[in-house]
Every structure is written in C-alpha cells, then in structure tokens.
Structure 1
Amino acid sequence: MAISENTRHSLFPSYLYSSSAYSKTLDLESFQRRNPSLPSTSPSPTPTPLSNGTVSSKSFLIQSPSEPARKIEMYSPAFYAACTAGGILSCGLTHMTVTPLDLVKCNMQIDPAKYKGIASGFGILFKEQGVRGFFRGWVPTLLGYSAQGACKFGFYEFFKKYYSDLAGPENATKYKTLIYLAGSASAELIADVALCPMEAVKVRVQTQPGFARGLSDGLPKFVRSEGYSGLYKGIVPLWGRQIPYTMMKFASFETIVEMMYKYAIPTPKEQCSKQLQLGVSFAGGYVAGVLCAIVSHPADNLVSFLNNAKGATVGDAVKKMGVLGLFTRGLPLRIVMIGTLTGAQWGIYDAFKVFVGLPTTGGAAPSATASTELAKV
C-alpha cells in the first residue's frame, strides 16, 4: 500500500527529514580550513542534489540532533520574557517565604508599645494567633511581589539596554553606574503601580487583627471602605521606599559583582563554573540588600503607617513616630530580612537565567559583539 508523504513524516523523528532545525549546511573548504589536522586527501562527500537538478560537491549535511531547536537572542523579546519570568520567581517566592518576618516588622512599626522587639513580637503573634498567624497575608504578598518582580527585572534589562544605546558605547562604559541607576528607577516606577494594591491589602490584613482573613475577603472590604482609589493611597510613599531601594539594589549589585570578579576571583567570569557565578550573585545581592534596607527604611515606615490608618497623612506619621523613629524603628529586623531576601532574589533570578541558557547578571561589561551573540536554550 502506498504511503503518503505526510504519513511517512509521522513515522519517523523530525530531525531525520527536516534540515531547518537540526542540521547545518557547511562549506567543505571552510570546514577543512577550521580543522587543519584533518587530512586533505579525505574522500569527497556525497554530492548533495540541488533544487534545480544539479549537484554540489562543496556542501554536505551534518546531523546535529543534540542542538537545541530554539535559541534566545540577547535583547530580543524572548530574552526580556525570560527575564520577566525570572523576576516573578525571584520576588514572588522570596517575599512569600519571609512573610512571618514581614508581619512582625509591620506590627513593630505600627504598634511599638506592644511589639517591643523581634523575639517578643513573634511571641505575641504566636500567643494571640497561633502558627497560622505568621502567614497571614501571604496571598497578596505572593501576587503583589510577583507582579512587581516581573516589571522590576524585565523592565530593568530593557531600560539598561535602551539607555546604553542612547549613550553610545563609549559613554555607556564611562557612565555605567548612572545607567544602572536610571534603568532601575525607570523599572521600579512601573513595578510599584503593579504592587501598590496588593501592598495596601497586605498591610491592612497583617496589622489589623479581625479585618480580614486574607485577600479574598480583605480586598472587597478595603474597596468598600476606601474605594478603588484607596488602593493607591500609598503609591507616593511606596515610590519613595522602592525607587531608592531598587536603585541601590541594582547599581550596588552590579558594582559589587564586577569588583568581586576583578579583585577577589582570579579567573575571568566566563571561565568560572556556573555554581561559582551563582554564589557571587547571592553574595553580591546580600550586601546590596543591606544597603537597600538602610536607604529605604524611612519610607517603609511611612508605607506601613499610611496603609494601616484610614485618612492618615505623612505629617501624622512624622508627628507620631518622630524623625529618628522613621529611620530606626524596625531597622535591625529589616536589615536581616532584606539582606537575605535580596541575596536570594539575585540567586534565583540568575539561576533561572542559567537554566534557560542565558549568562548571569553583572561582571565585566560585554563587548559590542558579545552582546549580540545567541544564548542557547
């Protein structure tokens, strides 16, 4: 019985009859020039029929079943999509994991008379709400910071490339720190718009016992009380907290990692193992996180205060907490939390990039030709 062409294709693996994804046509003379050790008297390859009926003795097919079918081109839409996915994983998972620390921190900021310290704060929460109380508000935390991470990392990679192209190769290298700062600030401006509604609900759920069990009942109750505009009441303080935080997070990370590869590690980055590169990412992220916590802490206190009290203003927060309180209340816990959080975020983000075949973040600035190479998936 005759077998149709489509049926024949369905009976065999695609790489046996498709040359577009898994085979390459190589010029024999170029191949021999790149491999001078091969004998020049080797037999000629089997002639390859051409579409016009003639044959060519200068080209032949080499099957490459192990070569990936797809590739991610640096700075292509697929590249930015991969960075966005990495940002979702790095921010959403890490913030959800440290929910107990965040809960104690927020309550120390709102009610320092009751929550006097880290240990006593955990003790009070456990006594009043049990183990489940430590994870109150984890759903808005996961959703809000996943959305923020997507925008933060995806747009940072975009704006870093965009501003570098505007500056030109020479100025991009000369003013790279300014480009890191501008790119991260631009990305965070967008990311906070995605985060703000979930942050408002999270703080209210975590700091007002009995307000709601979580997102499902907390969001409708919040909207009924303050309207949809109330979800963005804390956007300006959130920008005040997150934009300096992110500028410090990305610029210091890039600088620290570059210095580590330049002064602490004798081997060039491209020759280091992926495990070592990920270790550098975590270490650089942790140090950057400590700096972030210090810079952004006053605004963090304002965000917690404004989202907890209906109709509260920045003046009310300063009056009640004092200037010194804005800078110091809850800071030790936040340093531990943000340092660990930021180190883990960079570790997860770069681990995901390695997983999909992209290079880790930071290190020496790539050359103009290297930036256009394809990273294999």
Structure 2
Amino acid sequence: MASAQTAKGKGKENPVASLAAGAIAGGTEAFVTYPLESLKTQLQFGALEGGKPLTPYQALRQTLQQRGVAGLYAGVTAVVIGNAVKAGVRFTTYDQFKSLLKDEEGKLTAPRSMLAGLGAGMSEAIIAVTPSETIKTKMIEDSKRAVPKYKGFVHGVQTIIKEEGYRGVYRGVGPVMLRQGANSAVRFSSYSTLKQFAQGSVVPGTQIPGWMTFGIGATAGVITVCEWRLLHLVVKTRMQSLRAKAEYRNSLHCAYRILTEEGVLKFWKGTVPRLGRLIMSGGIIFTVYEKTYPVIAAVL
C-alpha cells in the first residue's frame, strides 16, 4: 500500500505550475498561429457574406490587400488572453483528472487518458473558450466591414455585452463543449500514447528532446483534426457571428440551415487552414508546456 501511495505521489502534478505553464504555452501558441485561425474563421462565414466562397489563398490575398497584416490579427487580443486562460485550465484540470485516474502503479491507460482529456476539454469550454471565441468571431467579422463598429478589444466586449447581454458571449456553448471535449480527449490520449512510445528511444531518466516533443504534438494535432468535430466548428462560428441572433434560433436550427441551404460539404469549410493551425498548435503548445512546467514547478 505504501509503495502504491508513493507511486501516486510521484505522479501528482503541481496545479499552480500546470496553470502557469499552460497559460504561457497557450498564449504563445495563439499568437503564432492566429493568422491561420483568422483565415479559417473567414472561410466558415461563407454564405453569411452573400458572396462567392473563397479559397484559403484568395482569403489571404484579399485580407492583405484590404487590411494588410493587421487584418490577419483582428481580434487577436481576445484569443491570446482566452487561449492562455483555456490552456491553463485545460492542463490544470487534465493533470488533476489524470492524477485521480491513475492506477495503483501510477500508470494511466489510454482510455483513462481520453476520459481525463474529455473532462479537461469541457471545463475549458465553459470557463474560457466560449467567451473568447465569441468575441474573436464577432471582431473578425466586424473587421471586414467598410466601417468597423468595434474600436478595439475593450470597446468590442463592452458593445457585445451592452447589445446582447452576457448571454451574447455564450452563444454556441453547446457545440463548443462538444468540440473541446472531443478535441482534448483525442489530443491528450494521442499525445500520451505517442510520448510513451518515444520515451523508449531515449536514455532512461532524461527528457525527450524538444524537436521530438514538437513532432509528437504536431502528430496529435493531425489526428485531432481528422475526427468528426469539424462539423461543430462551422456551427460554432455561425452561432457566434454578428448575424446569429437574427438568422438562427439555436445550434440545431443553424446546422439544419447549413445542411439544407449550403450542402453537407460546408461543414468542412476551412479545413486547410484549420489543419495547418492544429499541426503548428499541437507542436508549439506541448513543447512550450513540457519545457516550462519543470522550471516553474522547481521554483514553487
């Protein structure tokens, strides 16, 4: 019994270090990959703009021509702050769920890792993801207007709350919870499984090299984007748009209108930039977290 408790103690993570390292990793990842996120969101608006659907290249060229590089970073503040908070929540809750679900030998099976990831994803969806992504989506759409309504991040948040109330920043919470739950379940279980394989190729007691961590995280990102949650991305984007209140009664009505008016392929709009972002995202966030956590944990 004592040895089992020792094993469990060794595997227990410091929640403060998890929160801080996760926040740093999330903020870094959000800023670096934001242009791809911006393009993905613009492609998913599609019919809401009433024009011909754009390719990723056309969306990039049009944004640069009309608004320059700054156009690719419209709404970035909300996402960097939101991503820092959600990554901090995600890693903290995952580590805590992971500690609870480890067996007596301190090991975590793939199914239990997936369950821990599911809990972490749904937690971050409620606490951080839905508000930050709603604000980001509205600000990206608003930036495409000839005369934008929002003068900046703070003014945008104030205007949204004034016009729609606090419910306005929680539109699409259902699809976001499904998306984040599935995302974290697949990503964490994929990452932990691949990491276990990789640890067999390094000297016992030493850390996995940074380039290998990046590769494992990027692979987990590819696996993540290949699952069914892409459907929820489009519904979520539409529900968080400026016109959502007038266009859709709820998420199911939104999905029905997209399917009947635009076709099933519309649910996969924005896949190319999304895939690019998740490859980069997985590599960056796990690498930064793995390198930052031991440093912060040693200080605390």
TM-score, with normalisation over the residues of structure 2? 0.84
Q: State yes or no: 1:351 paired with 2:291.
A: yes
Is residue 2:277 matched to residue 1:325? no
2:176 equivalent to 1:238: yes
| Matches of 1:376 and 1:138, distance apart in 2 | 31
Q: Is the CA contact (8 Å cut-off) linking 2:34 and 2:73 kept in structure 1?
A: yes
Number of the residue aligned with 1:277: 209
Distance 1:191 1:269 in 2: 34
Partner residue in 2 for 1:198: 132
Write the deviation string for residues 236-264 of structure 1: whole angstroms up to 9, x where unpaired: 111111110111110000011112233xx
Q: CA RMSD, aligned part only?
A: 2.2
Name the structure with the higher helix share: 2
Map 1:56-205 onto structure 2 (within 5 A). 74=10, 79-111=14-46, 113-114=51-52, 116-164=54-102, 168-169=103-104, 173=107, 176-195=109-128, 196-205=130-139
2:153 match: 215
SS state at 1:130 partner = helix
How many positions carry a matched residue from both structures?
Answer: 275
Q: Which runs of 5+ in 1 are unaligned?
A: 1-72, 359-374
* Equivalent position of 1:342 in the other structure: 282
Query: Partner of 1:21 in structure 2?
Result: none
Which residue of 235, 242, 258 corresponds with 2:196?
A: 258
Q: State the distance in 2 between where 1:213 and 1:190 align.
A: 31
Partner residue, 2:239: 306
Shift of 1:233: 1.6
How far apart are residue 75 of structure 1 and its match?
6.0
- 8 Å Cα contact 1:75-1:158 kept in structure 2: no
- More strand as a share of residues: 1
Code of the residue aligned with 2:175 in structure 1: it is P
If asked which structure has higher relative contact order (CA below 8 Å, sep 6+), I would say: 2
* Contact 1:193/1:235 (<8 A) preserved: yes
CA distance in 2, matches of 1:206, 1:301: 15
CA shift for structure 1 position 97: 2.0
Deviation at 1:129, TM superposition (A): 1.5
Quote the offset at 1:194 in angstroms.
2.2
Partner AA of 1:222 in structure 2? I
Structure 2 spans left out of the alignment, 5+ residues: 1-8
What are the Cα deviations for residues 70-122 of structure 1, in whole angstroms up to 9, with x where unaligned?
xxx85668x22111111001112211222211111101010264451121111
CA distance in 2, matches of 1:259, 1:92: 28
Contact 1:294/1:331 (<8 A) preserved = no
The CA distance in 1 between the partners of 2:180 and 2:54, in whole Å, is 26
Structure 1 residue 278, shift from structure 2 partner: 2.4
Q: Which has the larger radius of gyration?
A: 1
Give the C-alpha shift of residue 269 in structure 1: 4.1
State the alpha-carbon separation in 2 of the partners of residues 318 and 95 from structure 1: 31
Residue number in structure 1 paired with 2:5: none
After TM superposition, which residue ranges in structure 1, 4 or more long, deviate above 6 angstroms?
none
| Distance in 2, Cα, partners of 1:75 & 1:255 | 16
Give the Cα–Cα distance (whole angstroms) in 2 for the partners of residues 136 and 213 of structure 1: 11
Return closer, same or farther for 1:88/1:223 CA change in 2, 3 Å cut-off: same
Matches within 5 A, 1:34-45: none
In structure 2, C-alpha distance between the alignment counterparts of 1:163 and 1:355, rounded to whole Å: 25
Change (3 A) 1:76 1:291: closer
Change (3 A) 1:214 1:246: farther
Calculate percent identity across the aligned residue pairs: 19
Return the offset for 1:355.
2.8
